[in-house]
């Protein structure tokens, strides 16, 4: 029997949220004034793998509330207009000039438009969440069909713990064509080619799996890895807390 994985799901979610944050350039940032008045600003940002740096123009009314805010909530929207990442954490102005210059050089600009003047702030997230439908960690019971032959693909899967069988055919001509174990992956062929599932995948015992939706798979494959195999290795390494 496969030993249960000491999975760090929080680490996986933060890793994927960070992957998404590299793709976008602006976030909505919400604060509350001392008198309880809410503030919302839209600012360019840079994600350095641990913190988000935002540039707030001095002319923006909400900027005055940031120094006293202490904590903020941020939201990054995807190209479909829906939230991609939510974050919350402590915010503070960047005082170090070298650090400020390094980040300012990476901030997004429009061609022919000068970089706006303003204060650079660092948000250190204590909470970082991707949109729930983009990534899912699930447990499958023994005998459960995870994907079904003939269905249209919707997710790419990595097995975090347990074993699965790849099965073709129906009840009368069922054939096990492969066995997948911890660290293995499946579902990429249908997503990349846009064709129905060529086989079913069934859990042989209790199994833990991570599934990425089509847009999440495409984003991660574009920004994190060049192949599905490499992406699966990265995801599994994150799931076990960086151990390989």
The pLDDT of residue 10 is 76
Using one digit for the tens of pLDDT, what is the confidence trace for 40-57?
888 889 999 899 999 887
Percent of the chain predicted with pLDDT > 70: 85
Res. 116 pLDDT band, cuts 50 70 90: low
Res. 242 pLDDT band, cuts 50 70 90: low
Res. 1 pLDDT band, cuts 50 70 90: very low
Is the pLDDT reported for residue 197 higher than 80? yes
The pLDDT of residue 14 is 87
The pLDDT of residue 200 is 96
> In order of start, what are the domains of the chain with their CATH numbers?
15-130 (2.30.110.10), 133-239 (2.60.120.10)
The pLDDT of residue 150 is 94
The pTM of the full predicted model, rounded to 2 decimals, is 0.77
Res. 36 pLDDT band, cuts 50 70 90: low
Is the pLDDT reported for residue 62 higher than 60? no
The pLDDT of residue 206 is 94
User: Which residues have C-beta within 8 Å of that of residue 132, sequence separation ≥ 6?
Assistant: none
* Interval 114-138 mean pLDDT: 85
Using one digit for the tens of pLDDT, what is the confidence trace for 133-159?
899 889 999 999 999 999 999 999 999
């Amino acid at each position: 029997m496969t030993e249960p994985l000491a999975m760090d799901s929080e680490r996986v979610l933060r890793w994927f949220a960070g992957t998404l944050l590299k793709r976008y350039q602006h976030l909505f940032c919400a604060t509350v004034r001392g008198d309880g008045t809410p503030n919302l600003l839209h600012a360019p940002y840079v994600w350095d793998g641990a913190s988000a740096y935002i540039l707030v123009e001095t002319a923006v009314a909400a900027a005055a509330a940031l120094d006293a805010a202490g904590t903020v909530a941020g939201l990054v929207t995807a190209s479909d207009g829906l939230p991609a990442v939510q974050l919350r954490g402590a915010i503070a102005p960047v005082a170090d000039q070298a650090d400020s210059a390094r980040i300012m050089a990476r901030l997004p600009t429009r061609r022919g438009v000068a970089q706006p003047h303003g204060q650079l702030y660092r948000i250190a997230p204590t909470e970082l969440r991707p949109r729930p439908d983009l990534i899912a960690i699930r447990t499958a019971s023994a005998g459960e069909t995870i994907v079904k032959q003939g269905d249209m693909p919707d997710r790419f899967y990595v097995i975090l713990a347990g074993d699965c069988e790849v099965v073709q055919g129906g009840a009368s001509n069922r054939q096990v064509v492969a066995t997948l174990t911890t660290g293995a992956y499946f579902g990429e062929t249908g997503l990349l080619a846009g064709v129905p599932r060529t086989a079913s995948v069934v859990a042989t015992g209790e199994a833990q799996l991570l599934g990425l939706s089509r847009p999440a798979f495409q984003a991660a494959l574009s920004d994190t890895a060049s192949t599905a195999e490499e992406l699966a290795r990265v995801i599994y390494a994150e799931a076990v807390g960086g151990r390989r």
